[in-house]
Chains A and B, each alone.
Chain A
Amino acid sequence: MSTTVKNLAMDGVNDVADRPLDQKTLNSDVMSMISLPGKVWWTIFILDLVVLGVALALVRNLIVHGWGVSGFMRPVMWAVDITNFVFWVGIAHCGTLVSAVLFLFRSHFRRAVYRLAEAMTVFGVLTAAMFPAIHTGRPWFDYWLFPYPNQRQLWTNVRSPLEWDVFAVNTYLTVSSIFFLVGLIPDVAACRDRAKHPIMKLLYTVISFGWTGANYQWKHFYGAYLFFAALATPLVFSVHSVVSWDFAMAQTPGWHSTLFAPYFVAGAIFSGVGMVIFLLVIVRKAYNMQHIVTIDHMEKLAKLVLLTSCMVGYSYLTEFFMAWYGPNKAERDVFWFRATGHYWWAFWIMFSCNVVFPMLLWMKSFRRNMTALLVLSIFVNIGMWFERFVIIVTSLTRSLNPANWFYYKISITECALIAGSFAWFFMFFLIFLRVLPSFSIAEIKETLPMPKRRGH
Chain B
Amino acid sequence: MLNKLLDGLLNPPPPKFHGVMGIWYYVDDAADAVKMLREAGHKNLNVFSPVPHHEIEHALEQGPSLVRWVTAVGGFLGATGGFALCYYSISSWPLVIGGKELFSLPPFTVIGYESMILIAGLSNLLGMLALARLPQLKQVAPYDPRFQEDRIGIWVPCDAATAARLESMMKGHGAEEVQVHA
Name A's B-contacting residues (CB within 8 A). 1, 22-24, 27, 147, 153-160, 163-164, 167-168, 170-171, 174-175, 178-179, 182, 185-186, 189-190, 193-194, 198-199, 201-202, 205, 209-224, 227-228, 231-232, 234-235, 238, 242, 442, 445-446, 450-454
Q: Which of A193, A227, A450 contacts B148 (CB 8 A)?
A: A193
Determine if B85 is an interface residue (Cβ-Cβ < 8 Å): yes
B107, A175: Cβ atoms under 8 Å? no
- 13 example contacts (A-B, Cβ-Cβ < 8 A) are as follows A158-B108, A159-B104, A167-B111, A199-B6, A209-B129, A210-B135, A215-B56, A221-B128, A224-B128, A231-B71, A450-B27, A452-B26, A452-B28
B89, A219: Cβ atoms under 8 Å? no
Contact A182-B48, Cβ < 8 Å, known A168-B114, A205-B10, A219-B57: no
Name B's A-contacting residues (CB within 8 A). 2-3, 6-7, 9-10, 25-29, 46-53, 56-57, 60, 62, 64-68, 71, 75, 82, 85-86, 89-90, 92-93, 95, 97, 100, 104, 107-108, 110-111, 113-115, 117-118, 120-122, 124-125, 127-129, 131-137, 139-141, 143, 145, 147-150, 174
B117, A212: Cβ atoms under 8 Å? no
B89, A155: Cβ atoms under 8 Å? yes
Q: Which of A171, A194, A224, A227 contacts B118 (CB 8 A)?
A: A171
- Please give 17 more A-B residue pairs, beta carbons under 8 A apart, in addition to A159-B97, A213-B48: A155-B92, A158-B89, A158-B107, A159-B107, A168-B110, A168-B114, A189-B148, A209-B129, A209-B135, A214-B46, A215-B57, A223-B67, A224-B124, A227-B120, A227-B124, A242-B110, A450-B27
- In the assembled complex, the CB of B175 is this many whole angstroms from the nearest CB of chain A, namely 12
Contact A167-B115, Cβ < 8 Å, known A209-B134, A219-B65, A451-B26: yes
B121, A175: Cβ atoms under 8 Å? yes
**Interface majority SS (helix, strand, loop, mixed), chain B:** helix
Instruction: List residues of chain B with CB within 8 A of the CB of A445.
Output: 50-51
Instruction: List residues of chain B with CB within 8 A of the CB of A202.
Output: 6, 9-10
- In the assembled complex, the CB of B113 is this many whole angstroms from the nearest CB of chain A, namely 6
Instruction: List residues of chain A with CB within 8 A of the CB of B2.
Output: 198
A210, B134: Cβ atoms under 8 Å? yes
Instruction: List residues of chain B with CB within 8 A of the CB of A171.
Output: 114-115, 117-118, 121
Contact A220-B132, Cβ < 8 Å, known A159-B104, A212-B48, A445-B51: yes
- In the assembled complex, the CB of A335 is this many whole angstroms from the nearest CB of chain B, namely 26
Determine the residue in chain A with the shortest Cβ distance to B78: A171
Instruction: List residues of chain A with CB within 8 A of the CB of B92.
Output: 153, 155
**Docked pose: A144 CA to B93 CA in angstroms:** 16
> Shortest 3 CB-CB distances between A and B: which pairs?
A223-B65, A210-B136, A155-B89
**Docked pose: A190 CA to B7 CA in angstroms:** 18
B121, A231: Cβ atoms under 8 Å? yes
**Docked pose: A201 CA to B56 CA in angstroms:** 30
Instruction: List residues of chain B with CB within 8 A of the CB of A228.
Output: 121, 124
**Docked pose: A1 CA to B60 CA in angstroms:** 25
**Docked pose: A13 CA to B52 CA in angstroms:** 30
**Docked pose: A211 CA to B149 CA in angstroms:** 13
Instruction: List residues of chain B with CB within 8 A of the CB of A216.
Output: 46, 131-133
